[in-house]
């Protein structure tokens, strides 16, 4: 069948749902996109190096100010939480995933392990439990608001 000759009933509801006056679905508002972390840590960037240099300079100029707290090793914390999410699943794929978690060298690698973790948890426990645990682990990664299909500009 030629797509140009499709009946109106098939394409009209999709076109109407995209109009700016219609109410968007709840799925669009509830979904938050989890992004991979930066490839290089911010301390290696130009801005991070300048910030570190200015903090040292400020501490030398005003030694009575408290020293900045040491940054938390986010990779260690993320690895511990990933391991904790696998504690009640004991099979070969879970053990393989735990080894991959231990070998991960960056948060970006941990981000790429999320689908494997979801699969192991969904097969070992249940899909709702896997979604709940993965949602808790998503706090280690940057998020972005969902993109809207159409943006209206009122003048």
Span 26-46, pLDDT tens digits: 444 456 677 777 665 555 667
Residue 109's pLDDT band, with cuts at 50, 70 and 90, is very high
Closest-CA residue to 20 (of 117, 155, 148): 148
> What is the enclosing helix (H) or strand (E) of 144?
strand 143-144
In this structure, what are the phi and psi dihedrals at residue 144, rounded to the nearest 5 degrees? Answer: -140, 140
The reported pLDDT for the residue numbered 147 is 65
Amino acid 97: pLDDT:
96
Give the predicted TM-score (pTM) of the model.
0.58
Indicate the average pLDDT of the chain: 76
For residues 39-57, average pLDDT: 71
**3-class state of residue 63 by DSSP:** coil
Give the per-residue pLDDT at 153. Answer: 55
- pLDDT (average), residues 58-63: 78
Segment 125-154 shows an average pLDDT of: 80
For residue 94, the surrounding DSSP H or E stretch is helix 92-103
**Model confidence band, residue 70 (pLDDT cutoffs 50, 70, 90):** low
Beta strands in the chain (DSSP E): 33-34, 143-144
Q: Which of 100, 140, 92, 141 has its CA nearest to residue 120?
A: 92
């Amino acid at each position: 069948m030629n797509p140009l000759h499709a009946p109106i009933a098939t394409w009209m509801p999709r076109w109407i749902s995209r109009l700016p006056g219609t109410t968007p679905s709840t799925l669009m508002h509830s979904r938050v996109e989890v992004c991979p972390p930066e490839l290089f840590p911010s301390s290696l960037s130009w801005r991070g190096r300048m910030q570190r240099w200015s903090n040292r300079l400020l501490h030398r100029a005003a030694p009575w100010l408290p020293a900045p707290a040491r940054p938390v090793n986010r990779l260690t914390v993320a690895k511990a939480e990933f391991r904790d999410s696998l504690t009640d699943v004991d099979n070969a794929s879970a053990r393989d995933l735990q080894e991959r978690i231990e070998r991960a060298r960056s948060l970006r690698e941990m981000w790429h392990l999320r689908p494997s973790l979801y699969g192991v948890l969904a097969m070992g426990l249940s899909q709702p439990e896997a979604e709940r645990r993965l949602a808790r682990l998503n706090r280690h990664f940057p998020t972005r608001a969902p993109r809207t299909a159409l943006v209206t500009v009122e003048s």
